[in-house]
Amino acid sequence: MERPSPIAALKAVLPEAVWTEDADRIAPRLSEWRGRWRGETPIMLLPRNTAEVSACVRACAELGLPITTQGGNTGLVGGQIPLGEVLLSTERLTAVRQVSPLDDALTVESGVTLLQAQQAAAEVERLFPLSLAAEGTATVGGVISTNAGGTAVLRYGVMRDLVLGIEAVLPDGRVFKGLRALRKNNTGYDLKQLFIGAEGTLGVVTAATLKLFPVMRSRATAMVGLNDPEAAIRLLALAKSETGGGVDAFELMKRIGIELVLQHIPDTREPLDRPSPWYVLLELASGEPGAAEAALPRVLERALSERLILDAAIAQNAAQAAAFWRLREEQSAGQKPEGPGWKHDVSVPVSQVAAFIDQATAAAESTCTGARVSAFGHVGDGNIHFDVLMPSGGDRAAFEAAREEGSRRIHDIADQLSGSISAEHGLGRLKTAEAARYKDPVELDLQRAVRAALDPRRLMNPGVLF
């Protein structure tokens, strides 16, 4: 008698409701929205609770079957796409287990979307602050596994800063029960940290306890014109100091980015009377009614008197604030009609932002004559989306041919300035080799030692990280 295939054996040990081989059902899970990856999988597992996740992972471990775990499938670096592995989806792990306003804590399963988590917090008059474009689809488990950032990092930190506890199924199927709503607990290594940003390599996150915050009571938004990124960084320090940390957003944009949005995106308009070489979208918030509105003019007047800024416009109502935000949010869309671009998601220490932009711009322009640089991003966190656009009417093939060298030089500059080549998107399948170039060998060894300790057979998301 022939031995059954591992997949047949897997199906035999799991309840029928927990798996599917339906190609139509699986297909949307095998590509992602940018269309960069086409995956394949023999089977998709759809466990409904932690016990079923444990049974699925244990069965795969016993059969030696590697697993790729997928949340909302919004990742940008291919980490969620199986290339032959079993696909484990968290889409049925959707329970909101506990909302505890007195603890400022919310416990949800990992398939809950970021938006649903935000809504569960809002229902008890609390804020879950992590916010990003894909929040209607991105799941809590995915956002934990990629340690996502987004637009509220300056005040509230990245996902790592917002997680109080984690429940996860380990690579051998055992359950790590780390769901705690404790603010202080010093009893050994803080193991939950391992699963945050691990991109699914150390187990499957099944639930998390998240930190909640008070809802803010005042908010004020301005668009500011400046001469250069150096001035922007000094404005940031001034605004933080004047408000005691009340800066909620600080987004830098270059004139070309504003111009492309005005040119290509309908219903957008110049934010200031005269164009400036650079712009900052500055937003203050406070728990005190009226405090942000009072602080913003004070900050801007001082910045004007210190000649840090050229011009500024304070949003007079929510619609004007939204119009300012639109100029920021459409930066990528505004570039699209201009053809391909070399895109980079780097971070550097805030003090090095201006040096990075200067040096990287020079590197881009010397790698490809006429290339146009549109740098923008969450500069309050040192995070720059450094995009190099094709020369106007330029030679597309020549631009593509220069991409590898150009990106390499830009990443080298970030590295030399003590920066990172992946500030918020993670490494996934896309950036792992590039990241390994910049890692110290000791750190690479440590990365591998930790992985081997938890997943000695490398069965969890084997294609990602080191």
Which residues within the stretch 302-361 sit at the binding site for a copy of itself (CB under 8 A)? Answer: 347-351
The residues facing 45 across adjacent strands are 19, 88
Contact call for residue 160 and a copy of itself (CB under 8 A): yes
The two three-digit tokens of residue 187, written as one number: 């009893």
**CA–CA separation, 389 vs 374, rounded Å?**
7
Is 147 a residue that touches a copy of itself (CB under 8 A)? yes
Measured CA to CA in angstroms, residue 93 lies from 103, 403, 409 at distances of 23, 41, 43
Q: Which of 50, 89, 286, 374 binds a copy of itself (CB under 8 A)?
A: 286
Q: Is 371 in the site for a copy of itself (CB under 8 A)?
A: no
- Residues 202, 241: Cα–Cα separation, whole Å: 40
Beta carbons of 37 and 28 less than 8 angstroms apart: no
Among the residues of 69-133, which ranges form H helices? 114-122
Report the residue number, 93 or 105, with the smaller CB distance to a copy of itself: 105
Q: Which is nearer to a copy of itself, 276 or 352 (CB)?
A: 352
β-sheet bridge partners, residue 341: 389
- Smallest gap, in angstroms, from Cβ of residue 18 to a copy of itself? 22
Find the part of the chain contacting a copy of itself (CB under 8 A) among 264-272, 310-318, 402-410, 420-428.
420-428
Q: Which positions from 78 through 137 interact with a copy of itself, judged by CB under 8 A?
A: 100-105, 125
Work out which of 143, 427, 459, 460 binds a copy of itself, going by CB under 8 A. Answer: 427
Residue in 189, 274, 316, 393 binding a copy of itself, rule: CB under 8 A: 189
CB of 383 to a copy of itself, least distance (A): 5
The answer to whether 183 contacts a copy of itself (rule: CB under 8 A) is: yes
Expressed in percent and rounded to 5, the helix, strand and coil fractions of the chain are: 40, 20, 40
Is 440 an interacting residue with respect to a copy of itself (CB under 8 A)?
A: yes
Residue 460 interacting with a copy of itself (CB under 8 A): no
51 binds a copy of itself (CB under 8 A): no
- Using CB under 8 A, pick the residue from 1, 12, 187, 266 that binds a copy of itself: 187
Q: CA nearest 224: which of 284, 264, 268, 267?
A: 284
Q: CA–CA separation, 327 vs 99, rounded Å? A: 36
Backbone angles phi, psi at 200, to 5 degrees: 75, 10
Give 322 or 446: the residue with its C-beta nearer to a copy of itself. 446
Compute φ and ψ for 271, nearest 5 degrees: -80, -25
What is the spatial distance between Cα 155 and Cα 51, in angstroms, rounded to a whole number?
A: 37
Touching a copy of itself, residues 266-285 (CB under 8 A): 285
Counting contacts by CB under 8 A, is residue 229 touching a copy of itself? no
Verify binding: residue 8, a copy of itself, rule CB under 8 A: no
**Contact window for a copy of itself (CB under 8 A) among 12-20, 176-184, 312-320, 322-330:** 176-184
Q: How far apart are CA 179 and CA 103, in angstroms?
A: 13
Number of chain positions touching a copy of itself (CB under 8 A): 97
CA distance 80 to 184: 33
